[in-house]
Amino acid sequence: MRKRKKMIVLISITVVFLLLIVWFCIPYSPLKSDFKKDTEELQTKNMIYTGDEVFTSDEFKDFPTAIRKYIENNGYIGKPKMNLVKMEYHDVAFSQGRSGPNLTIDYTQYDYVSCPCRLALIESSMFGIPFQGYDYYCDGRGGMKGVIAKLITLFDQTGEDMDKACLATFLAESMFVPTALLQDYIAFEEISEYQVKATITAYGQTVSGIFTFNEDYEMISFSTNDRAVTGLDGSVEYVPWSAVCGDYKIGDDRIKHPTCFKAIWNYPDGDFVYFDGTISSISYE
């Protein structure tokens, strides 16, 4: 009888183990499915340009010098206006905080123009177990959710501070989707030939930051004090934040894009780079 019970237990454990392997290996996951559904819905809702409209120099004549030169020098004039940008990264060095785990991730994001909206999916693994994250800002609500084993929620960060932080992230990336610069929700103030202050207002929230350009009028950094660090324990701390990009190259669309991107918390005791990746592709719709 004991041998039979042991055999039943062993078989049960084996079956559970095999089911887990199958579950981890199949491409489906609830979080990834939500991301796909949300991006498809927003793609149909946020079409304000038909594809016939193109960028013109005249539209940017009253903009600060750096932005006007950025648009002209990087090849946007005469190109079709876009409703969204899709950016993909592979094998990004990513950390979930100074005391959090370090991961290598794939990262896919969409930024939508008609209203400030940003959706991003993180795909990775922890100890061989699938880990996925959903970073979002839509309808004025921002958040980040992390799930392991496709079902177990590790964190689900939301709230006003997260709303503001995600809006600041959208502003930082607005240069990658220049139709956003033409919308009423962003205003600009020239600081110098190579620096511009940008302010975005949406859904009752306002955040600002400074874009810096090099002598070729490539945007090389964005910095802001309006983005909070939200710890895995729910703690909130406002720390200067910057995004740094560079190594611009001309893509198949004949537009010059950056190919590297870093996100950095500028702590008083030193900078902490928590996202360090190469942009695999940039595409517009």
Across the range 234-243, mean pLDDT stands at 89
Does position 172 have pLDDT exceeding 90, yes or no? yes
Domain that holds residue 209: 29-284
Span 52-102, pLDDT tens digits: 999 999 999 999 999 999 999 999 999 999 999 999 999 999 997 887 789
pLDDT of residue 104: 95
Does position 20 have pLDDT exceeding 60, yes or no? no
**Encoded tokens for 76:** 């946007």
pLDDT of residue 1: 59
> How many degrees, rounded to 5, is the angle at CA 83 between CA 243 and CA 172?
15
Span 225-234, pLDDT tens digits: 999 887 666 6
pLDDT band at 133 (very low <50, low <70, confident <90, very high): very high
Query: Cα–Cα distance between 113 and 177 in angstroms, integer?
Result: 8
pTM for the model: 0.89
- Environment class of 35 (CB within 10 Å of its CB; exposed 0-12, middle 13-18, buried 19+): buried
Instruction: Determine contact, residues 143/162, Cβ cutoff 8 Å.
Output: yes
Instruction: Determine contact, residues 48/7, Cβ cutoff 8 Å.
Output: no
Query: Cα–Cα distance between 84 and 29 in angstroms, integer?
Result: 25
Examine residue 20 and state whether it is found in any structural domain, yes or no: no
Backbone angles phi, psi at 85, to 5 degrees: -125, 140
Does position 25 have pLDDT exceeding 90, yes or no? no
Task: Say which CATH number the domain at 274 has.
Answer: 2.50.20
Does position 22 have pLDDT exceeding 60, yes or no? no
pLDDT of residue 94: 95
pLDDT band at 136 (very low <50, low <70, confident <90, very high): very high
Number of domains forming the structure of the chain: 1
User: Among the residues of 173-262, which ranges form H helices?
Assistant: none
Question: Count of CB atoms within 10 A of residue 187's CB?
Answer: 12
Identify which of 273, 258, 284, 272 has the alpha carbon closest to the alpha carbon of residue 74.
258
Looking only at the bridges linking them, the beta strands covering 228-230 and 249-250 are unpaired
Span 260-279, pLDDT tens digits: 999 999 999 999 999 999 99
Question: Count of CB atoms within 10 A of residue 282's CB?
Answer: 18
Q: What DSSP character marks residue 81?
A: P
Examine residue 15 and state whether it is found in any structural domain, yes or no: no
pLDDT of residue 58: 97
Examine residue 8 and state whether it is found in any structural domain, yes or no: no
Backbone angles phi, psi at 19, to 5 degrees: -65, -40
pLDDT band at 7 (very low <50, low <70, confident <90, very high): low
Examine residue 9 and state whether it is found in any structural domain, yes or no: no
Q: Within its chain, how far is the Cα of 270 from the centroid? A: 23
pLDDT band at 236 (very low <50, low <70, confident <90, very high): confident
Tell me how far apart the 2 most distant CA atoms of the chain are, in Å.
87
Span 200-222, pLDDT tens digits: 999 999 999 999 999 999 999 99
Percent of all residues in the chain with a pLDDT value above 70, rounded to a whole number = 89
Q: What DSSP character marks residue 116?
A: T
pLDDT band at 18 (very low <50, low <70, confident <90, very high): very low
**Encoded tokens for 14:** 């084996």
Does position 4 have pLDDT exceeding 90, yes or no? no
Q: Within its chain, how far is the Cα of 90 from the centroid? A: 13
pLDDT of residue 17: 40
Q: What DSSP character marks residue 41?
A: H
